[in-house]
């Protein structure tokens, strides 16, 4: 009887452990484009940390807790943080180093190229914009994705725009990203409207955003 009891106990423990692992690693549900945008910003932060300390970005190991602390300043949840880091590893912008249970991250050669020219983020934005165009932007979820696409496009153009246009683009991207994460349709619509007002002022400095808006069409 005792043997059956312990077998049942072990089975329940294994099932609970499996469920806990699945629950912990469950995706956050943020749009892929928003994930890519945050990953691009995190890549810039890692590069900044390396250069600030006088290191080569391709050899500098940054501790996971520092990355988490930085993402906490954006009020990202732990599932969102995990998704963003996993995304960076998946597309080979960074690789993970495990030293005695402590995780570090290093920018890869692909990550360095992304810092020089954001082709990876640009490709994600174009693909998402085309999918939205093909499927139609007819519900609140699609509008949230469209807002994330516009925000990421603003991030791309902010890299090369004149200082004032770059500042406006980043501020507008921040506004859109915050709205998307609330999942509140009204806040998302207001953020989209504000972004269009900004684009009317600095549209000539943001050619990629103009291209993306042409793909998205009216919505």
Phi and psi torsions of 208, nearest 5°: -70, -40
Confidence of residue 20 (pLDDT cuts 50, 70, 90): very low
Evaluate whether 120 touches 93 at the Cβ level (below 8 Å). Answer: yes
Mean pLDDT value of segment 41-57: 94
Number of domains forming the structure of the chain: 2
Q: Are residues 148 and 170 in the same domain?
A: yes
- Residue 76's domain comprises 32-114
User: Do the domain assignments include residue 3?
Assistant: no
Give 45's strand partners: none
User: Do the domain assignments include residue 135?
Assistant: yes
Residue 198: the pLDDT is 86
94: left (phi over 0), alpha (psi -120 to 50) or beta: beta
Q: Are residues 125 and 94 in the same domain?
A: no
- Domain boundary (97, 114, 131) is at 114
Q: How many CA atoms lie within 13 A of 59 on its CB side?
A: 4
Confidence of residue 28 (pLDDT cuts 50, 70, 90): low
Q: Are residues 122 and 211 in the same domain?
A: yes
Q: Are residues 67 and 138 in the same domain?
A: no
Residue 98's domain is classified under what CATH number? Answer: 1.10.10.10
Q: Are residues 96 and 180 in the same domain?
A: no
Q: Are residues 92 and 157 in the same domain?
A: no
- Domain boundary (114, 134, 163) is at 114
Q: Are residues 142 and 210 in the same domain?
A: yes
Is the per-residue pLDDT at 169 higher than 90? yes
Please tell me which residue, 87 or 17, carries the higher pLDDT value: 87
Q: Which tens digits make up the pLDDT trace of 88-118? A: 999 999 999 998 889 999 999 999 999 999 9
Where do we find the tokens 């093909």?
134
CA angle 128, 179, 147 (to 5 degrees): 25
Q: Which tens digits make up the pLDDT trace of 189-218? A: 999 999 988 888 887 889 999 999 999 987
- Domain boundary (94, 114, 134) is at 114
Question: How far apart are the C-alpha atoms of 28 and 12, rounded to whole Å?
Answer: 27
């Amino acid at each position: 009887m005792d043997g059956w009891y312990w077998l049942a106990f072990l089975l329940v423990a294994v099932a609970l452990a499996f469920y806990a692992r699945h629950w912990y690693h469950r995706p956050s549900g943020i749009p892929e484009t928003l994930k890519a945008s945050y990953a691009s910003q995190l890549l810039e932060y890692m590069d900044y940390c390396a250069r600030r300390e006088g290191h080569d970005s391709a050899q500098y190991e940054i501790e996971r807790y520092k990355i988490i602390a930085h993402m906490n300043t954006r009020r990202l949840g732990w599932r969102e943080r995990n998704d963003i880091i996993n995304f960076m590893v998946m597309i080979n912008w960074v690789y993970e180093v495990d030293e005695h249970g402590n995780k570090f991250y290093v920018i890869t050669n692909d990550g360095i190229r992304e810092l020089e020219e954001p082709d990876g983020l640009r490709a994600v934005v174009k693909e998402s914009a085309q999918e939205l165009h093909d499927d139609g932007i007819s519900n609140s979820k699609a509008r949230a994705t469209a807002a994330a696409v516009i925000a990421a496009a603003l991030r791309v153009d902010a890299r090369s725009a004149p200082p004032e246009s770059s500042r406006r683009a980043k501020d507008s991207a921040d506004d859109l990203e915050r709205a998307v994460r609330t999942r509140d349709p009204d806040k998302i619509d207001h953020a989209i409207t504000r972004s269009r007002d900004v684009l009317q002022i600095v549209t000539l400095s943001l050619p990629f955003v103009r291209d993306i808006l042409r793909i998205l069409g009216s919505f």
